Amino acid sequence: MDFDDDGVIDVTEEEFAELTESMLEEDVNNCARYFWYNLQERRQGDEDVCDEPLFQNINEELFEVETIKKLIALHDNYEPVVSEEEDVTREERQEEFDFIDACVDTRVMEIAQQFLISKGLLSSEDKSHFKRILHRMWFALYPRSHRVKGSCAFEHVFLGEVKRGQVKGFHNWLFFLQEERKGDLNYYGFNKAFGFGKNSSGQRNGGVIKSIFEWENSIKPVSGIFIGLSPEIELALYTLCVLLKPDGACTVSLGGKKIDIQTHTFRSRGKKYLSTAFPDI
């Protein structure tokens, strides 16, 4: 399998729901236990109706989770304005590999890999091939503006971007939390939200929110964001969904809740790229 291939996974909705539920149950790096999120008021247009931040009572142990540490290391590697070309240093490239290595070494990613093997999309249990696919899918640079290679799927989804003064992407709770703590993001309210209950050990699983916020002096009017899921399960869910149902709504099941994950791809000079992936509630 290569990301440029056009084949998709043949799987029933029931089979995929069972798979994603098992991934949530095995998500040992789930971070919902390290903080509370305070939804406050439902949105009222573009008004800021929330006096307090979304994320509160943050336990610093959150930042000792291995995949969280590797994700945070990537936060300062990108220019948010898509018209500015990205200059990826050797150190930054290594941080990309380190993040993928840490994710692939988790039980969640092992489940995803075994599923792809069972569907004939991976020919062996060789992790190096899987890692190459993930790196190509998430970190290959491409243009979103004026043919300038100023974007990639990872930056768009796990961080955020600015195009013509508008916030684009920004679908990850950890970047939201970090920017909010620095005072660089202002939470305005939410449209819809729900939680995923607790796992078999009695720990909270997190949830999902559709929110409105201000970042980089611009309003993001709506953004679907999982809350508290580990980096590896988000990476796995989005990866599987773009392979299962690219450019469409892919239904996953988490804590008994059905959520559509929307993905978009595009082709440039004969190569396929992942544009975005996010929970659409």
Active-site residue list: 156, 171, 220
Q: Are 149 and 254 in contact (CB under 8 A)?
A: no
For 227, the enclosing helix (H) or strand (E) is strand 218-227
Q: Which residues pair with 215 in a beta bridge?
A: 185, 218
Residue 23 neighbours by CB under 8 Å, 6+ apart: 108, 111, 112, 233, 236, 237
Alpha-carbon span 52 to 33, nearest angstrom: 20
Alpha-carbon span 193 to 226, nearest angstrom: 10
Q: Are 261 and 241 in contact (CB under 8 A)?
A: yes
Count of CB atoms within 10 A of residue 195's CB? Answer: 18
- Quick one: which of 2, 19, 27, 31 has its CA closest to 232? 27
Q: Are 117 and 130 in contact (CB under 8 A)?
A: no
Q: Which residues pair with 43 in a beta bridge?
A: none
Q: Which residues pair with 271 in a beta bridge?
A: 268
**Two tokens at 22?**
């098992």
Query: Measured in whole angstroms, how far is the alpha carbon of residue 143 from the centre of its chain?
Result: 20
